[in-house]
Structure 1
């Protein structure tokens, strides 16, 4: 197997990872409850209450669709568990030459990228490439806010708190999203101001939100316009984030399907998998 094959597969993995990197959202809404908030609950208070609900999340299942700077249009579906840490995602990059969805799995301290039939032809019939995060030294940052050592997905619950950093949150109206009655809120978040406001938060909350902010500031985004749809149980059912990055526009919508339900992710068969760490070791020895 040629080392160039590794490079080709890594390019496919990187494209999917970058698309996944910008995913954000909140706690998925349940199917019960009306969309109208209490008359005494202001838009800012409603958003803060939904952000508080993120602390109870143990798992998420969601769909995403939109445009990623430098990557183009993407769509996909993902499920993730915080404890134990696991994730499964299928992503389609509509503006890239691929032979179908790219699948990403995180199992223990290993991340797997499935490239489909095209990858199998390039890798002697093996359609998966394994990134052993421990062997590659990336597992030190492996937590719910930096899945895959920062290469795949962020914890979607954290991004849902961003709207609390807006000084102009307003109620747009009531809408039905995925069969659930919700209240639609909207606001603009200047990222520098939001980061400064985090100094008043406790250490754990501050560090979690600062890590989530980093991915956007590194993209060159100064401010985010955010729409959030909150259900009658004060959960975020859907969100949309828009901004202007160095490499183009960001416009991502995430709709949550369920939360706090079991998520089981299994590793692909060993016979279908190429171990990147082993490949790199063999290349060095060769």
Structure 2
């Protein structure tokens, strides 16, 4: 496989993984059971309602979601994914149209990140349709790649960014809306990174560390102020989350819609005969 092909494929997966970072730290999950918004919840203050939705996802162990939007510097991204936090595993089918027409599949299992490109990839890799990144090995080698970022971010609790929204000074209830056939209450507000940092000051050490990772995602993109929208269903779960902001390399506009949660997520590594391990080669490109 040529250097140009590898680099192009790496940029495409980098765009998708950048979106995963947002999803991994996003906001809980919505339940299809929430057909009607809770009347009592509608009477809460916006800050109390958003905090309640965040609190209910603290014990989240798995979720299925769909995301679509634009990442600064990488362009459009869309994906469907399932993730488990115990044990840590993820499976995602994705595309990054501005990086190329290829559709890819990403799997994170047993510390390895696998990227599959199907038959087209096999034509370029001696019949192998998957490439593997060893995130831990690359991190030890001093790499700061999309692979190591995804490994780190996947450990974050998905409630963290919805909690950051409670730092907004202009948080408001927009109204009732249907999202994927589920009735929800829509909240919106703006929040700066300084407000986010202040919000986590009094948290315990473990929670503070997780939430600071979420904040750093935006710092890395050059985003210092966010417009956030949150759609909460009748069971006080977040059904949908949207984050918008201006970064150093363009606009961030990502919407994550949650389809299910706390259901079994089984991710298997591809057969070894179909895998090309590119950890060393990718490190060379990175250097």
TM-score, normalised on structure 1?
0.87
Shift of 1:6: 4.4
3-state DSSP of counterpart to 1:168: coil
Q: Contact 1:109–1:139 at 8 Å: present in 2 too?
A: no
Q: 1:8 to 1:179 in 2, by over 3 A?
A: closer
Match of 2:78, SS state, is strand
Tell me what 1:144 maps to.
none
User: Which residue in 1 is equivalent to 2:148?
Assistant: 149
How far has the Cα of 1:176 moved from its partner? Answer: 1.2
Q: How many residues align?
A: 277
Q: How far did residue 50 of structure 1 move?
A: 0.7
CA contact (8 A) 1:9 1:115 kept: no
Residue of structure 2 equivalent to 1:216: 218
Assess, with a 3 A threshold, how the Cα gap between structure 1 residues 169 and 113 changes in structure 2: closer, same or farther. Answer: same
Q: Distance in 2 between matches of 1:50 and 1:243?
A: 23
Q: Which runs of 5+ in 1 are unaligned?
A: 141-146
* Shift in Å, 1:236: 0.4
| Distance (whole Å) between structure 2 residues aligned to residue 176 and residue 40 of structure 1 | 18
Cα RMSD over matched residues? 2.6
**How far apart, in 2, do the equivalents of 1:186 and 1:139 lie?**
42
Q: Is the 8 A contact 2:15 2:71 kept in 1?
A: no
Change (3 A) 1:66 1:207: same
Query: How far off its partner does 1:174 sit?
Result: 0.5
Q: CA deviation at 1:53?
A: 1.2
- In structure 2, runs of 5+ residues without a counterpart are none
Aligned to 2:16: 16
Counting only pairs closer than 5 Å after superposition, residues 163-174 of structure 1 correspond to structure 2 as 163-174=165-176
- Choose which of 273, 276, 279 in structure 2 pairs with 1:274: 276
Shift of residue 41, structure 1, vs aligned partner: 1.6
> Counterpart in 1 of 2:112?
110
Structure-2-length-normalised TM-score: 0.87
Residue 92 of structure 1 and its aligned partner are, at CA, apart by 1.0
Q: Aligned match of 1:205 in 204, 207, 219?
A: 207
Is residue 81 from structure 1 mapped to residue 84 from structure 2 by the alignment? yes
Per the alignment, residue 191 of structure 2 pairs with 189
2:72 aligned residue:
69
